[in-house]
Amino acid sequence: MCGIVGIASKNNCIDNILSGLYSLEYRGYDSSGLATIKNNHFEYSKNIGKISNLQKSVKNNKLTGNVVIAHTRWATHGKPSIKNCHPFIKDNCVLVHNGIIENYTDLINYYSIKQKNIKSDTDTEIIAEIYNKLLNEFNNPIEAIKNLNKKIVGSFSFAFLVHGSKSIYVTRRGSPLVLGSGEGFNAVSSDVLGLPDNTKEIIFLEENDIAEVNDSSILIYDKNQIIKREKHKFIPKKEFKVKGNYKHFMEKEIFHQPISIEDTILNFADKKRKVVYLPKTNIKFNEFSNIIIVACGTAYHSCMVAKYWIEEMTDFNVSIDIASEYRYRKNKVNKNSFGIVVSQSGETMDTLKCLNKFKKNNIFTISIVNVLNSSIARLSDFILPTLAGPEIGVASTKAFTSQLSVLALFVLNLQQGSKNINKIFFNSIFSIHKSVKEILKKENEFKKIAKKLVDTKSIFYIGRGAMYPIALEGALKLKEITYKHCEGYAAGELKHGPLALIENNIPVIVLAPFDENYSKLLSNIQEVKARGGRIIMITDRDGAKKVKKYCDQIVIIPKTNFLTSPILYSIPVQLIAYYLAVFLGTDVDQPRNLAKSVTVE
């Protein structure tokens, strides 16, 4: 997918533009360029290959500018070359574009575009030529865009410079654009990562919105009038490195999840168009039949959840493995596979070695990472970023729910590629962050559960289906930061041995959405109860009606579905572990014996 960055500033903003382009590298590209308007003249630099090549050209040309638009190109029409590089410069305007214009040949005829004016093989230059012509006709950049949008078939996000103006003009349909505002500047980008770090507020443009952005104002138009769009707070990277009003980074990161989950989802899903759009690649995922997913620790639990989703929602064969095991297996890799690695840090040695093993087997590699310039990201063929923001606490929380969010979107994307996307699941992802907020408001109920665990010697988590990996995650969280012995089990496994550990007052925390596994879970609860175990239930309203008489403690959380349950039930297990660690006085953010990134074997 191409990347767009634009800044209209009171000062020279070339450096911010370049760092914005670097932040968009993950989207995949083969060339890049930028243009500015200075003393009513257009100046520009373009280059193929890495952004560092563009940076050299900018330096050699001593290019500076206060109003700049820039682009990383992933070739769709026309091979990677300087002539096909954006921006496209015409007499009256400059254009960068992300998306595909399906009817560009019809437009050539409709607007009587002279072929001699077209120097590239791209659909984008046709649009630049048309807009150049419309500016002569309308002499109004906004009206010219309105006319243009009516005629285009396809997906686009455009950023224009216009002769005689110090504004950037943008519009989008089917390809995201986000606006950012800060002290002395306003910015546009294909996604949040491309915005300057001193951005204060962001606005996600909606379909067919048009905006005029200059160094002191943003005006947004729909078809007929100036409108207001919802503003979101932008959180710069440096803010993640301070605890603020929180006692621990882990607490801050748990409570950041409504934002991190929403940011991650909005980066890939368009509610209005009901589509998941991933960074562009030549690969057609649905031409494969096998998926291999590997990771370590918490990240591996996200792989386990993904296996349930993939098996239920697609026709793929999926195998998952712990990276430290997979890397030494003498397994045969089916050529019709692609490999996924999941890693918050992007530096975990075992996971990195598995990525190398995928590449040695010539299979396409995807990485789901939270650190975009990490070793794993740089080595992968395709990156799906989690937008959780830097995670400081050793115990992974917001990165985990963002990993689950990306995997859920990836599975929905596989589904939309082969059959109808599950609309109920798709629509539910846009309200996950609200349900997370509701669960976080019950923090005192989870504190009460934690309080009663202070003197226990062993704790059990159980769950069925996609709740089993969350039971493992809950147990891992407790082990990591409370140093208590805790086991997570598939509930159906208890009778195959672990039940021998259940004795009077041993706490068993049951993750129990009211779903098709619920009735079987009831019998597991009775098995525990009959042996004196203490039942702590995390369930929803319907589940609660059935088990009140068996429960010693119960917390009711919002209703979920097969796709959203693992994400939502992660929050209670994080809170229980956090509050128990606080009661026990352990080092929550830097627990003993552990490191945030395990770069050793």
- List interacting residues with ligand AGP (CB under 6 A): 296-299, 343-345, 348, 351, 394-396, 480, 597-598
CB crowding 465-498: b at 16 or more within 10 Å, else e: bbbbbbbbbbbbbbbbbbebebbbbbbeebeeee
> Could you tell me the smallest distance in angstroms from the CB atom of residue 252 to ligand AGP?
15
> Could you tell me the smallest distance in angstroms from the CB atom of residue 322 to ligand AGP?
10
DSSP 49-99: S-HHHHHHHHHHTT---SEEEEEEE--SSS-SSTTTPSPEE-SSEEEEEEE
**Distance between CA atoms of 396 and 345, rounded to whole angstroms?**
10
> Could you tell me the smallest distance in angstroms from the CB atom of residue 492 to ligand AGP?
25
Question: Which residue in the list 437, 447, 452, 596 is annotated as catalytic?
Answer: 596
Count of Cβ atoms closer than 10 Å to residue 527 Cβ = 16
Decide if 484 is catalytic: no
> Could you tell me the smallest distance in angstroms from the CB atom of residue 566 to ligand AGP?
15
- Closest CB to ligand AGP among residues 86, 398: 398
- Closest CB to ligand AGP among residues 33, 339: 339
- Closest CB to ligand AGP among residues 345, 428: 345
> Could you tell me the smallest distance in angstroms from the CB atom of residue 341 to ligand AGP?
8
> Could you tell me the smallest distance in angstroms from the CB atom of residue 107 to ligand AGP?
47
Reported residue count of the chain is 601
306: closest CA among 403, 433, 420?
403
- Closest CB to ligand AGP among residues 344, 524: 344
**Distance between CA atoms of 574 and 353, rounded to whole angstroms?**
29
Question: Which residue in the list 2, 13, 85, 296 is annotated as catalytic?
Answer: 2
Backbone angles phi and psi of 268, in degrees to 5: -125, -10
Decide if 354 is catalytic: no
Q: Supply the DSSP symbol for 239.
A: G
Count of Cβ atoms closer than 10 Å to residue 404 Cβ = 31
Residue 87, preceding peptide bond in cis (omega within 30° of 0): yes
- Closest CB to ligand AGP among residues 74, 578: 578
By beta carbon distance, the residue nearest ligand AGP is 297
- Closest CB to ligand AGP among residues 25, 480: 480
SS3 annotation, 409-477: HHHHHHHHHHCCCCHHHHHHHHHHHHHHHHHHCCHHHHHHHHHCCCCCCEEEEEECCCHHHHHHHHHHH
Query: Cβ(12)–Cβ(171) under 8 Å?
Result: no
Q: Catalytic residue positions?
A: 2, 596
